């Protein structure tokens, strides 16, 4: 009989970011290996995303406020956690992680934590008031969550090192595991034509793609300003057909500001806002594009970066995307700083590359994905880590009353 795995996450709504997509894709790979995966979420029964999630979900919400406190979480875990071999917590700073700790710290059911970049010092620098509030919360809540976990998983060495810089005290069983995605699936020609039927003005253009949350940390403003500058200082034969595709949920306040900036920079004829894309349309966006751009100020892994590589799409990223070293070493993209000068250099190098150079980079992008970020490799890496830490849980009773 295979492993019975329970993932705990704040929500299964994909608009909140990549972790839920990672869980779903990993669940498919686990099923192929004879393991089972289910999800515990703080969503309420009326969350629409539950109907579309292919993994068995147990909603115990709706959680209250931003912290998503739910009085049903701990009783559910007390009643059901023994049915599983282990629990994996996805993310911190919400009641999911603290509730799992409260329910399982003395239960004998092992639990593990993916922080998903939430200990990155970027947030300390960018949001000092929020960081101060978290400092007050840290010693009696999430510090204990990490300290008492069988292991805390980081998706690359960069994330592990950065996580040590944000809070004190800090102690946990750190372990770096591979993280990945299943990559491009389906019929490429069908997907390409489906996307172009929705956005026919992009046919035959030199398309630059951003796909993800429309959030200030993603540096969309840098991408827009860099494009505007390149329109002014790049030969017309290089820039004339360039179009920027921005794909992601675009109803929030930052999206409104970004669209206003787009208008101010006179880029409305060059930028297509598609809204959120999934399934065939999402892959179609990758397939009609010539490069993927992410001028992010903080990115723990970047599932969309790995997806772009799987579609043979070179990536233009900053050195704040934590897998930048792997991309650079593989020659699968171009890396620069997360400022306007860096964003401009990325575009200039892209625009100035020859067809042969870009074809070679496409080949290396696919090779980078297969060797580093395929879901089969990341699943095996996780299973190896689970086996390693199965019998090495911290002595919770000893630590429970002290730091």
Place of tokens 């297969």: 370
Q: Place 180 in a pLDDT band, splitting at 50, 70 and 90.
A: confident
Q: Name which of 75-79, 239-243, 359-363, 395-399 the model is least confident about.
A: 395-399
Provide DSSP, 94-160.
SHHHHHHHHHHTTTS--EEEE-TTTT-HHHHHH-HHHHHHHHHHGGGTHHHHHHHSSEEEESSHHHH
- Summarised one tens digit per residue, pLDDT across range 33-44 is 999 999 999 999
Mean pLDDT of 216-245: 94
Q: What is the pLDDT of residue 392?
A: 59
Q: Do 4-180+377-399 and 188-373 show the same overall fold?
A: yes
- Summarised one tens digit per residue, pLDDT across range 187-199 is 999 999 999 999 9
The domain segmentation of the chain, as residue ranges, is 4-180+377-399, 188-373
Residue among 295, 306, 304 at smallest CA distance from 337 = 295
pLDDT for 394 beyond 60: no
Q: How far apart are alpha carbons 228 and 362 in whole angstroms?
A: 26
Rg (CA), the chain: 22
CATH architecture for residues 188-373: 3-Layer(aba) Sandwich (3.40)
* Residue 51, burial from CB neighbour count under 10 angstroms (0-12, 13-18, 19+): exposed
Name 386's Cβ contacts closer than 8 Å, sequence gap at least 6.
3, 86, 112
Percent of the chain with pLDDT over 90: 82
Sheet containing strand 291-294, strands side by side: 271-275, 242-247, 206-211, 291-294, 315-318, 333-336
The helix-helix angle for 19-32 and 375-389 (nearest 10°) equals 80
Residue 169: asked if its preceding bond is cis (omega within 30°), the reply is yes
Residue among 143, 139, 149, 299 at smallest CA distance from 213 = 299
- Summarised one tens digit per residue, pLDDT across range 267-293 is 999 999 999 998 899 999 999 999 999
Q: What is the pLDDT of residue 156?
A: 87
CATH number of 4-180+377-399: 3.40.50.2000
pLDDT for 402 beyond 50: no
CB 295 within 8 A of CB 318: yes
């Amino acid at each position: 009989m295979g492993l019975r795995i329970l993932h705990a996450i704040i929500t299964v709504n994909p608009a909140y970011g990549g972790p839920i997509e990672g869980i779903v894709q990993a669940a498919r790979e686990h099923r192929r290996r004879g393991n089972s995966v289910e999800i515990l979420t703080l969503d309420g029964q009326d969350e629409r995303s539950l109907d579309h999630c292919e993994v068995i979900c147990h909603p115990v919400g709706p959680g209250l406020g931003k912290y998503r406190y739910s009085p049903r979480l701990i009783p559910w875990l007390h009643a059901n956690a023994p049915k599983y071999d282990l629990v994996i917590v996805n993310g911190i700073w919400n009641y999911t992680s603290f509730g799992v700790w409260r329910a399982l710290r003395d239960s004998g059911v092992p639990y593990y934590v993916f922080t998903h970049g939430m200990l990155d010092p970027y947030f300390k620098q960018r949001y000092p008031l929020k960081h101060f509030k978290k400092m007050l919360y840290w010693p009696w809540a999430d510090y204990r969550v990490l300290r008492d976990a069988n292991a805390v998983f980081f998706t690359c060495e960069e994330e592990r090192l950065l996580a040590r810089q944000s809070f004190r005290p800090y102690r946990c069983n750190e372990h770096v595991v591979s993280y990945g995605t299943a990559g491009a699936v389906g019929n490429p020609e069908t997907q390409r034509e489906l996307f172009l039927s929705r956005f026919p003005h992009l046919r035959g253009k030199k398309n630059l793609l951003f796909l993800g949350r429309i959030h200030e940390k993603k540096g969309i403003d840098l991408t827009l300003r860099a494009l505007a500058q390149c329109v002014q200082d790049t030969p017309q034969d290089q820039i004339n057909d360039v179009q920027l595709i921005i794909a992601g949920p675009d109803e929030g306040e930052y999206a409104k500001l970004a669209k206003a900036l787009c208008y101010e920079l006179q880029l409305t004829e060059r930028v297509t806002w598609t809204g959120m894309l999934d399934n065939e349309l999402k892959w179609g966006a990758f397939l009609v594009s010539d490069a993927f751009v992410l001028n992010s100020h903080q990115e723990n892994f970047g599932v969309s970066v790995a997806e772009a590589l799987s579609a043979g799409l070179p990536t233009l990223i900053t050195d704040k995307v934590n897998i930048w070293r792997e991309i650079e070493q593989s020659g699968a993209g171009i890396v620069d700083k997360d400022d306007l000068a860096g964003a401009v250099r990325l575009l200039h190098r892209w625009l100035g590359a020859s067809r042969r150079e870009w074809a070679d980079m496409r080949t290396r992008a696919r090779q980078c994905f297969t060797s580093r970020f395929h879901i089969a490799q990341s699943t095996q890496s996780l299973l190896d880590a689970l086996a390693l830490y199965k019998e090495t849980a911290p002595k919770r009773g000893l630590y429970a009353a002290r730091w």
